Amino acid sequence: MSIPLMEPAFEYCFELRCRVEDPVQLGGTTPGEGLHFARVSGGTFDGPRLRGTILDGGGDWWNGRGLAVELDARYVIEAEVETGTAGVEVVNRGVWRTDDATWARIVAGEAVDERELYYRTAFRFRTDHPELRWLTEYQFVGYARAEPGYVIIRVFRLA
Amino acid sequence: MSIPLMEPAFEYCFELRCRVEDPVQLGGTTPGEGLHFARVSGGTFDGPRLRGTILDGGGDWWNGRGLAVELDARYVIEAEVETGTAGVEVVNRGVWRTDDATWARIVAGEAVDERELYYRTAFRFRTDHPELRWLTEYQFVGYARAEPGYVIIRVFRLA
Amino acid sequence: MSIPLMEPAFEYCFELRCRVEDPVQLGGTTPGEGLHFARVSGGTFDGPRLRGTILDGGGDWWNGRGLAVELDARYVIEAEVETGTAGVEVVNRGVWRTDDATWARIVAGEAVDERELYYRTAFRFRTDHPELRWLTEYQFVGYARAEPGYVIIRVFRLA
Amino acid sequence: MSIPLMEPAFEYCFELRCRVEDPVQLGGTTPGEGLHFARVSGGTFDGPRLRGTILDGGGDWWNGRGLAVELDARYVIEAEVETGTAGVEVVNRGVWRTDDATWARIVAGEAVDERELYYRTAFRFRTDHPELRWLTEYQFVGYARAEPGYVIIRVFRLA
């Protein structure tokens, strides 16, 4: 029997432009190692499927090990719906890693694009708004890049 | 054989005075029902064992069902240590429930004390600072009360 | 103004007798250090407030650091209710620590009581069964002790 | 300025063949609605990048809402490495949804393929074994299908 298998495919939905504050060290004894908290303090998002604003509050509890970082972000966005806006919980987990040269450029305040950084995530959204139900019914992944003070993540849904 | 069993006992450690912003509704369709996010935006803590400040960021992802609420708060505090301050992750989960009369008083902006509200929690702290290691080696519980714009929680460690 | 504050108080509810299999090491490079998984494979519970059985499945994802361990257990119990039994999710987090002498006794297969071990936890239960609703409306803590192949935890609710 | 953006791309790594026991209902009052637990009781995995066995223990805490299900699975696999095997924690979250006709076929014990079911997930692996470090440094997604008593998930890493 041959089982029909799919080629994974994506659809681009929107891009989050997330303002992230300087991290506070919570674990580890060396800067960048162990648990940190970086507050998410605002931003916007826009794209073919959704647009709105990112609220101040929540943040990214990230855990560093050398030049690799495990992300665990949780924050809130307000999406535009027909009658106004609706709150949506965002949980975004993933990994981020780089090399010494690219890291030096980030520290120097340069923007780093998606190809220069392995910064890939998976999203879970939570909302009960009927217009936004699709956010809870697909698996989403993110491709991220860095600009000073911001993380910019393109959000795709898996076909 | 008789197994020696303990009578649970507590030691009071410190009191958190936590500023909490108005919640954003994320789930449910009725106000107060389902998932909400309330940002923790600052505060202080003080007591026989620890003192410092509560940072802006993180928050309480609470879930309401009638007059009972399940809490799931995660935020960051900076504790005073010998050489300055050290960041500590706070995870505080628990339950909160009341009756119609007490709820009406809270909405009217009155303070409500620990006996009038069942607001009990369990804490987990995370830090690698050697002076604060005890925070990771005990189980802690909280007794909370409400003031307009604030939650005040007394933190006890189990003996 | 003097704020009426409570003396923390407990009520004993039931005791879990939990069979725990040998742990599998998932993290760390030294035995006992880092993340481990210990399957919960059965058991019973009994007491003034609740009785029933512990199901096979779930387990304890524990993280060791020297002679201190951070617990994160999640499993399922079936509680007796008027019409039969009802499933309840158990999430039990806490800490466990000992000294070299007591540890040697545990390894040698001796039982260790609640005073000899600091093994304290906080519970969250989840169920929608109306007779068990109280399990979701109180904060619970646990006092545990060890027997070969078993953890025995007395469960108290906070007044 | 034009920012170089990537087309999401995948690499197939291995396929998990996971034995899953009948679920226990933990929440909700209607079968299939609310929180359930389905124990993972064994299995195997194989593919170009990794092979080994799935251990008994852990499970899937899934939450149903009509014909859509939110998954939250956590279990342990043992992967073959040069010197034997190494334990790896698997956390697999995602969504699963179907229609009435496909659901009837599943209930009747038929296999359902990846195109007939939207069953997509995101993985996080945890291990400290040096040969398996790559599992912690990529974002992985899963495409799943159902056979009686089994879930079969193909695991891809994002480029």
- Pairwise CB contact (< 8 Å): B120 & C10: no
Identity at B26, one-letter amino acid code: L
- Residue B121: list chain C partners with CB under 8 A: 139
Joined tokens for residue A43? 């931003």
Contact between D115 and A4 using a beta-carbon 8 Å cutoff: yes
CB of B37 less than 8 A from some CB of A: yes
Chains with 3 or more CB pairs under 8 A to chain B: A, C
Q: Of the candidates A26, A41, A128, which has its C-beta nearest B89's C-beta?
A: A26
* For residues A25-42, average pLDDT: 89
Q: Do A87 and B58 touch (CB under 8 A)?
A: no
Phi, psi torsion values for C135, nearest 5 degrees: -65, -25
Partner-chain contact C26 D88, CB within 8 Å: yes
Q: Nearest to residue C96, comparing CAs of C119, C113, C77, C76? A: C119
Exposed e or buried b for every residue in C106-124, given b needs 16+ CB within 10 A? beeeeebbbebbbbbbbbb
Sign of the alpha-carbon torsion through D31, D35, D40, D41 = negative
Whether residue C25 lies within 8 A of chain B, CB to CB, comes out as: no
With tokens 């998984």, the residue in question is: C37
Q: What pLDDT shows up at residue A150?
A: 96
Cβ(C81)–Cβ(D25) below 8 Å:
no
The three-point CA angle D81-D83-D88 to 5° equals 40
- CA–CA distance, D156 with D92 (Å, rounded to integer): 13
Q: Domain segments of chain A: what residues?
A: 18-146
Amino acid at C44: T
CA distance linking residue B75 with residue B19, whole number of Å: 12
Give the minimum alpha-carbon distance from A74 to chain B in angstroms, rounded to a whole number: 8
From A95's Cα to the closest Cα of chain D, the distance in A is: 6
Q: Taking Cα atoms as reference points, which of C19, C21, C11 lies closest to residue C50?
A: C11
CB neighbours of residue D129 within 10 Å: 19
Q: Compute CA D75 distance to the chain's CA centroid, rounded to the nearest angstrom.
A: 10
Chains C and B touch (3+ CB pairs under 8 A): yes
Parallel/antiparallel/unpaired status of strands B52-54 and B68-81? antiparallel
Q: Out of A101-115, C33-47, D84-98, which region has the weakest mean confidence (pLDDT)?
A: A101-115
Helix (H, G, I), strand (E, B) or coil at A136: helix
| Banded model confidence at residue C107, pLDDT cuts 50, 70, 90 | confident
Q: What is the mean pLDDT of residues D41-58?
A: 97
Give contacts of D 117-146 with C, CB under 8 A: 126-128
Instruction: Check A122 against D118: CB less than 8 A apart.
Output: no
**What integer pLDDT is reported at residue D35 of this predicted model?**
94
Nearest CA in chain A to B60: A58
Q: Indicate if the pLDDT at residue C90 is higher than 60.
A: yes
Is residue A138 pLDDT above 60, yes or no?
A: yes
What confidence category does residue A30 fall into, taking pLDDT thresholds of 50, 70 and 90? confident
- ipTM (interface predicted TM): 0.94
Q: In terms of CA atoms, which chain D residue is nearest residue C40?
A: D57
Using CB atoms within 10 Å of the CB of residue C82, give its burial: 0 to 12 exposed, 13 to 18 middle, 19+ buried: exposed
Whole-number pLDDT of residue B2: 66
Largest CA distance in chain B: 57
Average pLDDT over residues B60-72: 93
Does C97 contact B137 at a Cβ distance shorter than 8 Å?
A: yes
D123 token code pair: 């993985």
Average pLDDT over residues D28-40: 88
Cα A60 to Cα A92: distance, rounded to the nearest angstrom: 9
Highest mean pLDDT among A19-28, A40-49, A65-74: A40-49
Q: Is it the case that residue A27 has pLDDT exceeding 90?
A: no
The architecture CATH gives domain D18-146: Beta Barrel (2.40)
pTM of the predicted model over 0.90:
yes
A42 touches chain B (CB under 8 A): no
Q: Which of C51, C56, C57 is nearest to C15 (CA)?
A: C51
pLDDT of residue D4: 78
Mean pLDDT over the full length of chain B: 93
Torsion of CA B129, B131, B133, B138, to 10 degrees: -140
Count CB-CB contacts under 10 A for residue A9: 11
Interface check for D74 against chain A (CB to CB < 8 A): the answer is no
